[in-house]
Chain A
C-alpha cells in the first residue's frame, strides 16, 4: 500500500502535498502520491477528485499548493507532451473532423510531417478497430466509437505515460475486453497507465494497483486482490439499452447469478413483463457475476441478433462498497 503512495526512484508520476481549490470548493487536498510503471487505477465515487488529479498531472489545471511532476518535469513543459498521452473525460471533438483527420491534426502539432501524421493516425485507428470508419465524421460516431477514437488519439504518438479518465465508459463488453487487453499491452515495457474509474469491477479486471480517493483526499493505495474480495460481496447493477429489452430481461432473469432484471423506469419485474407492452428500451440487471453476465449477453446477441446499443454499469451499491473500503480499519485502506 504505502509503496505506491510514497516517492520511489522509478516514479513516473508524482504529486507532493498537492491541493487544488476551485474558489472555495475543494478539488483535492494535500495529495502525496508516486506512481510507477504498470497500470494504476484511481478509484473513488463521483466528486472524489479523480478528474482533478488527472488534470493536474496533465497540466490542464495548476495546483493551488504543492508540486506535480511527470517524468521528472512540471506539467506544462512542452517536451513532456511527447511522452504523455491523456484521454480526458470530455466526450467532444473539433467540429466537422473525420476520425483520421482528428488524430492527424494533433500529430501535426507534435511535429509529425503530414505524411507521418497520416500514417500514425491510421495505425492508431487500427489499434482500436476503427480503420473502417476512418473517413467518417467523428461527431457522428456512437458513444463507444467516440471513446475508442479518443483513446486512439491519446496514444497515437506512442507516449510513455498514459492517463485515461473513465476509459471504458460507453463501451460494450467485447470492446471493454479488447481495451483491457490493449491497456495490458501498453503497460508492458515500462509504460505507466493511470486509469480512473468509479466502477470497481473495471478496476478489478485491469489494474495492478489502486489509489483510493474520496472527497478530495487520497485515502489509501493498494493491490487489487484486496479490493476484489470486497467487490464480489456486492452485486453490480448494469444498464443495457437494446432493441428488445423485454426479451433480454426475461433471459437475464433466468441466469443463476442474476438477482434482479427489470425494465428501466418500470417497477414491474421483467419476468412478468407482458408481450406487447411498451418497451422503454433499457433493462437494469443486478448480478453477482458481471463477467458471466457479459458473456451471456454476448451469446444472446449472437444467437438471437439482439441489437445492443450500450452497456453501462450503474452500481447502485457502489456507495456501500466505497463506504466499506473507506472504513479506516479495513485492510483495503491500510493493508
Chain B
C-alpha cells in the first residue's frame, strides 16, 4: 500500500528532472543536438587551424575582431545551433513519449502533470544550456585571436542559456499544440530571421531582439537593416525569463488537460 513516508507530489520535481535528464540526454535522439552543438566548435577548430597554418608558413596572420565573433555567435550559434537544437529537443520532450506510447506511465504516477511538465522542461533546459554554453565558450576561445575578457565570455554564455530557456519554452508549447510542428517551427524561424527588417515595435515581439540587446559587442548590421535601440540588460533578461515562464505555464495548463489517446480507443 502507499507509503506515508513518501514525499508530497509537488516535491517530486527533483526526481522528475533526474529521470528526464537521463531519458532526454542519454538517448539516440539527443545525438542531433550534440551534432548541432559541435558545429560552432568545429568551425572554431577550422579557424584556429587556418590561423596556425598561416603563422607556421609565414603568411599574413588574420585576426578576428570582437564584432566578427559577435556575428558568428549570432548566425551560427543562436540562429542555427541553438534554434534548431532546441526545436529538436523541446518538441521531442512530449512527442518522443507519445510516439513511443509511453507517456501514460508518467501520467499514472503521483507527480502532478504540471510538475511533470516543468521537470521535463528544466531537464531539457539544463542539458541544452550546459551543451550550448560550453559550445559557445569553446568556439569563442578557438575563434578569438586575442584573449577574450571574462565578462564578455560570461555574457555570451549567459545569452546561450537564456536562448535555450526562451526558445525551449516556445518549442515545448509547439510540440504540445501541433501534430506536425515543422511548419510552425519554420514560420517561427522566418519571423526571427527577418528581425532586422521589421518595424521597431514588431522587433520587440521576437526573442532574438532581446538576445541581441544582451550582446557584449554590437552586431555588424547591413545597410538596409532597421536599427532599433536595444533594450536594457535588465529588461532583456526579464522579458526572456518571463516569456519562458509564460510559454511553459501555458504548456503546463495544456498538459494538465491532455488525454492519452495514442490510437483509436476501444
Q: Verify that A and B bind, or say they do not.
A: yes
A274 close to chain B: CB less than 8 A: no
* Contact of A60 with B111 at beta-carbon distance under 8 Å, contacts A55-B265, A111-B12 already known: no
* Contact of A61 with B102 at beta-carbon distance under 8 Å, contacts A49-B266, A79-B9, A109-B110 already known: no
B257 close to chain A: CB less than 8 A: yes
Q: How many residues of A contact B (CB 8 A)?
A: 45
Contact at B1–A62, with CB atoms within 8 Å? no
B53 close to chain A: CB less than 8 A: no
Q: In chain B, what residue has the closest Cβ to A93?
A: B102
Docked Cα-Cα span, A157 to B6, in Å, equals 11
On chain A, the residues within 8 Å of B223 by CB distance are none
A58 close to chain B: CB less than 8 A: yes
Contact at A58–B266, with CB atoms within 8 Å? no
Docked Cα-Cα span, A223 to B16, in Å, equals 43
Contact at B260–A92, with CB atoms within 8 Å? no
On chain B, the residues within 8 Å of A58 by CB distance are 104, 108
The stretch among A81-89, A174-182, A238-246, A249-257 that forms the contact with chain B is A81-89
Give the distance to chain B from A61, nearest Cβ to Cβ, in Å: 5
B2 close to chain A: CB less than 8 A: yes
Interface digits, A96-128 against B, CB 8 Å rule (1 contact, 0 not)?
100000000110111110000000000000000
CB within 8 A of A92: which of B102, B116, B256? B102
Contact at A110–B110, with CB atoms within 8 Å? yes
B180 close to chain A: CB less than 8 A: no
Q: Which of chain B's residues 102-135 have a Cβ closer than 8 Å to chain A?
A: 102, 104-113, 116
Q: In chain B, what residue has the closest Cβ to A191?
A: B1
B7 close to chain A: CB less than 8 A: yes
Give the distance to chain B from A157, nearest Cβ to Cβ, in Å: 7
12 cross-chain CB contacts under 8 A: A51-B266, A82-B2, A83-B2, A86-B108, A88-B104, A94-B105, A95-B96, A95-B100, A96-B28, A108-B15, A109-B15, A153-B105
Q: Which 6 A-B pairs have the closest CB atoms?
A: A78-B9, A82-B2, A92-B101, A51-B266, A111-B6, A109-B109
